[in-house]
Chains A and B, each alone.
Chain A
Amino acid sequence: MNSGIKKLSRYRRHRFARPALLVVALISMGATFQVASALPSTTRMETTAQSTLIEEGKRIFAQGCSSCHGLNAEGSGIAPSLIGVGAASVDFQVGTGRMPMADMSQQAMRKTPIYNAEQTAALAAYVASLAPGPDAINEAQLTFERDGNTAEGGELFRTNCAMCHNFAGQGGALTQGKYAPTLMGVDAKHIYEAMITGPQSMPVFSDKTITPEEKLSIIKWIKAAEKEPNLGGASLGRVGPVTEGLLVWTFGLGLLIGIAVWLTVKAK
């Protein structure tokens, strides 16, 4: 071994040593790149359709989103970078009509979506192509009717969600005009995507914090709450005692005083 090093050492000041080293370095570098870029090329045939979708998404993005999020979704002073947010985030934000925003208010409001399902999918594919991120949820994954547990979902909801979204998912106020929106009438898919992407003020609930089965239970509970009849009569908005107090002072006491006045007038 010693003799081998000595041999190498003998040639280290050879006049071809430096060019030879350079050639070796360039070849190894080129080979690495070649191997790395060759890896996706094995699936190139299958993703032809995908790349047209990405092209379509890029076109829509340039038209409808780039004025705020930048031509390459790199973000700007008024809007965040979308590199790495994933398809789930796009599907949630665009699918619920939050994006594109109507105005620069405290937070994006849910409204009628501007883009249809295909356009949303194209946008999602484009943003997902920029860098990996959470995938959009498809209907096959939403097996909450089969795999969810309503009561357990309720417990999880009260522990993790009720502090902002209220005990019955009616929504609640946050600071400076921000708010947790109502969860009534929200697609199961969008609820799931909100949990994994944490839109706006909402935290991300990763699969380690709340497992996929638990997420399905939460969705099942929300859907049950949505369908639950108002067992005690008019719900008064399911917002607690404020509306109850309002009703007792207006209708309750108002009616009783009205009757008292009527009784005294009647007596005369």
Chain B
Amino acid sequence: MKKSERIAGNVAGYVDDRTGAAKWLRKNLTKVFPDHWSFMLGEIVLYSFIILLLSGTFLTFWFDPSQRDVIYQGSYEPLKNIEMSASYASTLHISFDVRGGLLMRQIHHWAALIFMAGMIAHLMRVFFTGAFRKPREANWLIGVGLVTLGIVEGFLGYSLPDDLLSGTGIRIAEAIIQALPVVGSYLAFFAFGGAFPGHVFIPRIFTVHVLLLPGIFLALITIHLMLVWYQKHTQYPGPGRTEKNVVGYPLMPIYMAKAGGFFFIVFGVTALLGAVASINPIWLYGPYNPGQISAGSQPDFYMGWLDGLVRMAPPIETHAFGHTISWNILIPGLIIPGILFTLMALYPFIESWMTGDKNEHHLLDRPRNNPNRTAIGAMSLAFILVILINGGNDIIATHFALTINQIMWFTRIGVIVIPPITFVITKRICLSLQRADREKVLHGRETGRLVMLPHGEFIEVHEELTPAQKFTLTQHEQNRALEVPASDANGVLNPQGLKGKLRARFSQAHVEQIPAPTESEAKALEGGHH
């Protein structure tokens, strides 16, 4: 044994004697994870969170979260001698007078966008593959919580510089708070310490942005990952993969190397964006002043759908008992988002109720094999996309020579019409893909090779799939609709009432699929077919 090895052994032994870590480490370092690119979406989010913590800490060294009035004397000429808040002036200072400051600001903001985009992509992967099913409902709920908090955290973050654009956003947030019936004005006064804009909201949102929410994030992300660890990762179906095993590579050394490398790749892409593409150029926006506004004021994309909803709302107000109820803000700003997020959070439970499925699932669905769920997901995305388009209606209008009014009416009608159409089309596409799978299993893959037989007939050669491919295409569960008894033992018709009928209808819709070919079907074909 070499000397260095002996020393390392001694150190390890010393630690193990006192902590008993060796056994725990052996067990966990050899833990197996399945391999698929879509399992790395969550990693993108985790790594951008770490980048956010690091770059954010850097920014706090110079950022002055105060609305104290200062006269700008920094090096950006077009704002010289202009009165502004200390938070805006210090953001200018970070951008122009701190070495690497602008790069760090841009990395921080791009990382935030990647964080949010990654979360949404990860959420879509989990949804469309059915990874949220038992036993992972709790982790789904945590994920929904993280998305919601991410939107709030991002909004507070870009509000901190107190520039003209973000001040406009804060003003809209105040309007949404005020739209709450009865308590709205009191809550707004409480949040802003008096009338808008006041002098307290920047220090307040700073505390929430750098302390409270990151703390909650850390806690939730830890639980999220511990649950993944404890419940084990889901895997895509394939030969040798069952509900009771995980097929993949051990954490050490494969995933340690891969995850470590991927962290640096995410950091690299974020730094690349920060270095080459301008983001939130607050010096162009100017300091916030409630008397000013810029054309085309937009929020970041993860708030854009909310802005789009508010923009399309018809101007409806009610005056009752000395109070004004602004339905035009209340409905798009609070009620619809509330319904959307509640439905999203409850979806695992809704699906399990519809299907009556109480089993554990560790094998993922291919999206086509659950047409109803895939169609629901596509429908929701269509809804969000339509209102997101309206959020950017002014930019779209000027860049594509359209009129704002056309876009608004298109989205007002589209938000009702397009999601159901998307549902139907997606479901049909899924069923067609299932038919194609069935065709492939029974008749093989079309090779495109034409062969002329001796008697002159042309045939296309079909290549039989490998057993592994056949397995992958036929392993999925064959859904059965929920049986709702027409009458109970005492002869009472429809004992579960309307709820039972509804459940039967939903279940019927949910199980619609093309039957996977069976062994005997395949055998029967073998005789007469090529």
Chain A residues with CB under 8 Å of chain B are: 106, 150-151, 154-155, 158-159, 162-168, 170-177, 179-180, 221, 224-225, 228, 230-236, 238-245, 247-249, 251-253, 255-257, 259-261, 263-264, 267-268
Contact = CB atoms under 8 A, between A and B. Distances in A.
Given A224-B78, A239-B296, 10 more contacts: A150-B77, A173-B394, A231-B102, A232-B277, A235-B278, A239-B395, A242-B395, A245-B301, A256-B114, A260-B37
A159 B291 contact: yes
B78 A263 contact: no
Contacts of B387: none
Given A175-B405, A257-B41, A231 B113 contact: no
Nearest to B163: A167
A264 B301 contact: no
B267 to A, nearest CB: 11
Contact of A166 (B266, B294, B403): B294
Contact of B296 (A154, A224, A240, A245): A240
Contact of A230 (B35, B121, B278, B395): B278
Nearest to B266: A256
Given A158-B164, A176-B403, A251-B273, A264 B37 contact: yes
A161 to B, nearest CB: 9
Given A231-B281, A240-B297, A248 B82 contact: no
Contacts of A155: 82, 286
Contacts of B38: 260
A244 B301 CA distance: 8
B295 interface: yes
Interface residues of B, number: 71
A241 B298 contact: yes
B386 to A, nearest CB: 16
A174 B405 CA distance: 9
B298 A255 contact: no
The binding surface of chain B is classed by DSSP as helix
Interface of B: 35-38, 40-41, 44, 77-82, 95-96, 102, 106, 110, 113-114, 117-118, 121, 164-165, 249, 254, 258, 261-262, 265-266, 269-270, 273, 275-281, 283-286, 289, 291-301, 304, 392-395, 397-398, 401-406
A232 B394 contact: no
Contacts of B299: 241
Nearest to B302: A245
A175 B405 CA distance: 7
Contacts of B270: 252
29 contacts: A150-B80, A151-B79, A159-B291, A159-B292, A162-B293, A163-B295, A164-B295, A167-B284, A171-B295, A173-B296, A173-B403, A175-B403, A177-B403, A177-B404, A177-B405, A233-B106, A233-B276, A236-B277, A238-B284, A239-B395, A240-B296, A240-B395, A242-B301, A242-B392, A248-B117, A251-B273, A252-B113, A256-B266, A256-B269
Contact of A158 (B36, B286, B402): B286
Given A151-B80, A154-B78, A159-B291, A253 B118 contact: yes
Contacts of A172: 294-296, 394, 398
A230 B278 CA distance: 8
A158 B301 CA distance: 24
